[in-house]
Amino acid sequence: MSRLLCIDDEEVLHAFQQGDRNAYELIYDKYWAILYRHARKMLQNDEEAKDVVQEVFVMFWLKAQDTSIHVPLAAFLYTATRNKILDQIKHSKVKAKYMTSLKNEMENQVQPPDTLVRQRDLAYQIELEIKALPAKMREIFELSRKEYRTHKEISEYLNISDKTVKKQISNALHILKAKLGPLLIFFLLLSTTW
């Protein structure tokens, strides 16, 4: 490491800007740990700090010919890292604010008066179609979708193979999709009300 500290930044930057890949590697080796420690201190997160430093070095690589890159390299890279961290923090705050706003909007959203009636009707239609399935298929399907059992649990419970369970569930979904349509099958798979 002490050898790296003795490298003249101006010379190695010039070599890098002339396309010398080894010069880039020298810069990377010399400054990565320093920038990582700085990013880690600001972000309090190892992975985020690594990501930020990686992004800084990618930017540095892509801007090799850019005249805005100057010595001292430590100051340039430190500033680039700080700016990247500030952008990330700002983005996180905007994202958090948006998610809070969206959550509040969804919680305060008034549903049309007939929503509950339509949901009940839909659940009733689905239940009728499930009851119309062949007996063994219906039993397997209900164990999967109503009791939330895994294929393995169902196969052990009914003393049949996993492959049979998977095939029966697939067949049941195929039949229900054909009868109920894609939107209703979507409701069927996600709903916990039936």
Query: 51-96: per-residue pLDDT in tens?
Result: 999 999 888 888 877 766 777 888 889 988 998 888 887 777 766 7
Give the other-Cβ count within 10 Å of 51's Cβ.
15
Does the pLDDT value for residue 2 go beyond 50? no
Query: 109-162: per-residue pLDDT in tens?
Result: 666 667 677 777 777 877 888 899 999 999 998 898 888 888 899 999 999 998
Per-residue pLDDT at 192: 42
* CA atoms lying within 13 Å on the CB side of residue 135: 0
- The rounded percent of the chain whose pLDDT value lies above 90 is 21
Question: Quick one: residue 24, left, alpha or beta (phi over 0 = left, psi -120 to 50 = alpha)?
Answer: alpha
Q: Is the dihedral of CA 29, 34, 39, 40 positive or negative?
A: positive
* CATH dotted code for 115-190: 1.10.10.10
DSSP per residue over the chain, as a string? -HHHHTS-HHHHHHHHHTT-HHHHHHHHHHHHHHHHHHHHHHH--HHHHHHHHHHHHHHHHHTTT-TT--SSHHHHHHHHHHHHHHHHHHHHHHHHHHHHHHHHHHHHPPPPTTHHHHHHHHHHHHHHHHHTS-HHHHHHHHHHHTS---HHHHHHHHT--HHHHHHHHHHHHHHHHHHH-HHHHHHHHH----
What are the sequence ranges of the domains in the chain? 2-108, 115-190
Fold for 2-108, please state it. Answer: Rna Polymerase Sigma Factor; Chain: A (1.10.1740)
Per-residue pLDDT at 168: 92
pLDDT band at 4 (very low <50, low <70, confident <90, very high): very low
Does the pLDDT value for residue 11 go beyond 50? yes
Query: 149-192: per-residue pLDDT in tens?
Result: 888 999 999 999 989 999 998 888 888 877 776 555 555 555 44
